[in-house]
Amino acid sequence: MVEMKIGLLANKSDCSVQTIRFYEKQGLLKQPMRNASNYREYDDGALKQLTFIRQCRSLGISINEIKQLIVLREQPDKSCESVNQMVKQHIKEVSKRLDELTHLQTVLTDIAASCSAGHSIGECGVLKKLDI
C-alpha cells in the first residue's frame, strides 16, 4: 500500500489517531502530504518512522530523546556514543525503579497482612500501618 490516511496508519502502528497528530506537533513525525480535502496522506516511510517512535517509547525513551535519536540517525558518520549512553542510562533507571517497586511490594504485602479480625475502620490494622 503506497498511501494511507491517518486512521489506517493508526491501525497499522497500534497508536491512536490523536497520538499520531500529537507526535507530528511535537516534531517526531514530519508533516505529511495533504489530499484535496486536507486529509493527511502517509506512505510506508511514515509507518516506519512511527514504528520506531513507538518502539522507543515502549522502552521508556522520552520524546525529547527520540528527537535526538532522529537527528543522530541522519548523521551516519558520527559516533554512536551518545546512543549507547542513552540506553545505559535507561537501564540504570529501570534498575532503580525495579528496586523501588520490589521494596514497595514487600511493604504493601506486609500492610495487607495486617488486616485485623474486626474489619472495622477503628481497629483497621491496615490504616494503622499507614499511619506509621
Applying CB under 8 A, the residues found at the interface with its own copies are: 48, 51-52, 55-56, 58-60, 69, 72-73, 75-81, 83-84, 87-88, 90-91, 94-95, 97-98, 101-102, 104-105, 107-109, 111-112, 115, 119-124, 126-127, 130-132
Contacts of 114 (CB under 8 A, 6+ apart): 125, 126, 128, 129
Question: How many Cα neighbours within 13 Å face the side chain of 59?
Answer: 16
Binding residue for DNA (CB under 7 A) from 1, 2, 3, 6?
6
Residue 104, C-alpha cell as written in the block = 514497595
Q: Which stretch binds DNA (CB under 7 A): 7-15, 75-83, 85-93, 106-114?
A: 7-15
Q: From the CB of 124, what's the least distance to its own copies, in Å?
A: 4
Contacts of 21 (CB under 8 A, 6+ apart): 6
